[in-house]
Chain A
Amino acid sequence: MSITRRQALASGAAVLATTIAKPAIAAKDPIQVGYLPALTGPSSSTGVGINRGIQLAVQEINAAGGIDGRQLELITRDTQSDPTKAVNGAAELTRGQKVSCVFGPVNSGESLAVVPLLARTNTPQIHPCWVDTLTDPKKFPACFRNAPTNQQIGGAANRYVTEVLKRKKVAVVSDTTGYGTASVNAYVPMLKEKGAEVVYQGNIDAANPDLKPELLRMQNAGAEAIMPWSVNAGFLSRIINTRGQMGWDVPIVGQTTLGSGQTAALLEKQDFWAKVYPNNFRPVCFTPDGKMTDRTSAFVDRLKSAKIEMGDTLLWWIALGYDSPLMIAEAMKSVGTEPDKIVGYLNQLKSFPGVYGDISFTPDRHDGYPDEQVVMVEANSLKNGAFKLAPGYSA
């Protein structure tokens, strides 16, 4: 059978039409974003809180029409608080699912394993983990942090002790974990630079049931403030309880866990929680007159109308989770879903207005959280997952 020129042209046009139609169909496919939370396991309380914000944000993005008509689809792999499972999840997301971008993991231990892996596949990654080495624009050019670093956390506590409380003699202690000892080693020189005298420094066994000798030594050394660095609620509650039993009226300033519900549950008396100042973040705190910023108030209203529980978690976890997909969606709306373009966009990001904080990146700095928004709060003011700013901060 011979083919006429007209038939050849017609079939060529049909082929061309089919080929052109393909991207139009693809454009309607959902955009897949990888998500590596710890929803179960020993470190899951953070992940569960963050997850509430993430789910709300994705619902809102999709209800508003998605990204240029395409829905945002989270491909979730629960890390179970286990770095090995986080690595497996990350490998599957990038090689099997071919996601455009990854949010998480949300715990430093898991991120330490995942960040180098994602860097090899050049997948854009945003994570909220505090360990300083988890961003490095040279080693991990596609990795960004939308949360503070440990340096910023320690820096805020040190500033509060030396500049606001005007305490010059400080006891800095931790448990014997890697996090605890690294924090003491990092923060003691920072305190000394600020002119404080570290009169007592130590790593205490968190299983030690009686911390009275330790606190007596701090008292004898003349400590005017105690700065404990630990995520162990049992250890922190023992410090607070012992201070209370001794009737020692000295402020305790340090890690966010000082203000957690688990720590509160282990206190002998709720009065002992006074003068305890954990880290927190200004945009999600109550001002001294009990108010929040307009942006945060509107967010809390949205959480209430969506019937999202706040009382059993922390507002900053939900806010951080909420901001992250919005930031990714903004990037994709502006430059599309190509990894290089997303990285290019994030490298120039300036004051992204998150509920949790205003995030900015530069090509040389991928730590986006502003110093001044890391603050200290009153532990015993916890209400609906949020705290009141510690005394001495202006509204």
Chain B
Amino acid sequence: MVQSIILSGVAVGCVYALIAIAYNVMFSASRVFSFTAGTLGMLGGVLGSLFILRMGLPVSVGFVLALAGGAVFGIITEIVAVRPVLKSLDQHLYVLSTLALALMVQQFTAIEWSTEPQPFPRLFDIARIDFDQQFWLPMLACAVSIVGLELLYRHTLIGYAFLAISEDNYAARALGLPERGLRMASFAIAGAIGALAGFAGGEMLLAFFANAPMLTFYGFVPVALGGMGNNRGAVVAGLLLGLFQQAANFLVGGIFASVAVFTVFIVVLLARPDGLAGASLRRRV
């Protein structure tokens, strides 16, 4: 039983962590919390099921197309819901614009796909064991994403450019960096990561339109706990969230599990407002 709680807790935690990373990548590039992150996860599952099960495409092609779909939605988010409100960031209009876009896509999926959860294909035709692919796939996806992002940010020129606009947008532009292009690229990367979360966790979460709000909420918790923009913090907080949620599901039951999760969330934020791994921003006054 403990093994089951740990396996599913870590696996779900990895999905939450990936959604949190998608939040962070978008936040770093634009200082905007895009509430389309959960929708990206939902789209990963739905597109994967659409391409592989309904259209009968090979798993590898379905995987690439699902991630490409997420990337395209990321770019659309930047153009439609983020760029128009960047000038008035202090009014937090992005909350409304990104939530509205997320809701539109969610409802469209419900109408065109299904209001019922649909099956997600088994990606590898291997026998089911305790440490099944539905558990290790999200873990692998999370590990690959975090290593990939570290390599990108620390060892490539374009990665430095991402960091530059994240650190100081105005200075980066003054140096001639293509800020808009980099921002769109960040949203595309975030889109692909979000879709990867839904695709890797597809067998657990199924291809279901209502996964969007669930992932939007639970994906935001590691962002807040791990420190905004801090991917390592998001992964640690995501894993803890998954484990805590599964343990709470088991110990106190479904109705109170969410209450337990958000109680801990509030208590942690009261104790450490910048998150477990976050550092407070100094502002000159």
B-contacting residues of A (Cβ < 8 Å)? 41-42, 175-176, 181, 202-210, 212-214, 216-217, 233-234, 237, 245, 262, 265-266, 268
A201 nearest in chain B by CB position: B253
Q: Is the interface of B mostly helix, strand, loop or mixed?
A: helix
Interface residues on B, range: 20 to 34
User: Does B110 interact with chain A (Cβ within 8 Å)?
Assistant: yes
A213 & B246 in contact (Cβ 8 Å cutoff): yes
- Across the interface, A202 reaches (CB within 8 A) one of B1, B118, B254, namely B254
* Contact B255–A203 (Cβ < 8 Å): yes
Residues of chain B contacted by A206 (CB below 8 angstroms): 254
- Is there an interface contact between B257 and A266, defined as CB atoms closer than 8 Å? no
Give Cα A175–Cα B116 distance, bound, in whole angstroms. Answer: 15
Closest 4 CB pairs of A and B: A210-B8, A234-B117, A205-B254, A209-B204
Measured CA separation A252–B162 after assembly (Å): 54
Partner of B117, one of A203, A204, A233, A268: A233
**Residue pair B205, A175 in contact (C-beta under 8 Å):** no
B254 contacts A216, CB within 8 Å?
A: no
A residues near B211, Cβ cutoff 8 Å: 207
Whether the Cβ atoms of B8 and A175 lie closer than 8 Å is no
Contact B119 A205 (CB under 8 A): no
A245 and B208 within 8 A (CB):
no
A268 to B211, CA, bound (A): 20
Shortest distance from the beta carbon of B6 to any chain A beta carbon, whole Å: 11
Tell me, in angstroms, the Cα distance from A214 to B115 when the chains sit together: 26
Q: How many whole Å from A241's CB to the nearest CB in chain B?
A: 10
Given A209-B205, A210-B204, check contact A233 B116 (CB 8 Å): yes
Contact A265 B119 (CB under 8 A): yes
Within the complex, the shortest CB–CB distance from A199 to chain B, in Å, comes to 15
Cβ of B185 within 8 Å of any chain A Cβ, yes or no, is no
Is there contact, CB below 8 Å, between B255 and A176? yes
Judging by beta carbons under 8 Å apart, are B118 and A216 in contact? no
List residues 207-238 of chain B with CB under 8 A from any CB of chain A.
208, 210-211, 214
B254 touches A176 (CB 8 A): yes
Contact indicator B214/A207 (Cβ below 8 Å): yes
- B250 located at the interface, meaning its Cβ lies under 8 Å from any Cβ of chain A in the complex: yes
How near does chain B come to A310, taking the closest CB pair, in angstroms?
Answer: 19
Instruction: State the Cβ distance, B144 to closest chain A Cβ, in Å.
Output: 21
Least Cβ distance of A110 to chain B in Å?
16
B residues apposed to A, CB below 8 Å:
1, 4-5, 7-8, 11-12, 110, 115-119, 128, 201, 204-206, 208, 210-211, 214, 246, 249-250, 253-255, 257-258
Q: Which residue in chain B gives the minimum CB-CB distance to A181? A: B255
Contact in complex: B254, A234 (CB < 8 Å): no
The reply to whether A209 and B116 form a contact with Cβ atoms under 8 Å apart is no
Contacts A/B (CB < 8 Å), 10 sampled:
A181-B255, A202-B253, A203-B253, A205-B254, A209-B12, A209-B204, A212-B4, A214-B250, A233-B117, A234-B206
Asked, given contacts A233-B116, A266-B206, whether A212 binds B8 with beta carbons under 8 Å apart, the answer is yes
Among B12, B116, B211, chain A packs the most CB atoms within 10 A around the CB of B116
In the complex, the answer to whether B253 meets A208 with C-beta atoms within 8 Å is: no
User: Which residues on A sit within 8 Å (CB–CB) of B7?
Assistant: 210
Report the separation of the CA atoms of residues A233 and B257 in the bound assembly, to the nearest whole angstrom: 21
Taking CB atoms, residues of chain B closer than 8 Å to A262 are 116-117
Q: In the complex the two chains form, is A213's CB within 8 Å of B205's CB?
A: no
**A209 neighbours in B (Cβ, 8 Å):** 8, 11-12, 201, 204-205
Chain A residue, CB-CB nearest to B205: A209
Q: What's the Cα separation between A245 and B12 when bound, in Å? A: 19
Query: Is the Cβ of A204 less than 8 Å from the Cβ of B253?
Result: yes
Please, which residues of chain A bring their CB within 8 A of the CB of B118? 265-266
Contact among B11, B210, B249 with A213 in the assembled complex (CB-CB below 8 Å): B249
Q: How far is the CA of A266 from the CA of B120 in the complex (A)?
A: 8
Q: Which of A216, A234, A265, A268 contacts B4 (CB 8 A)?
A: A216
Determine if A205 and B257 form an interchain contact, defined as CB atoms under 8 angstroms apart: yes
Q: Which residues of A contact B250 (CB under 8 A)?
A: 213-214, 217
Shortest beta-carbon distance from A284 to chain B in Å: 23
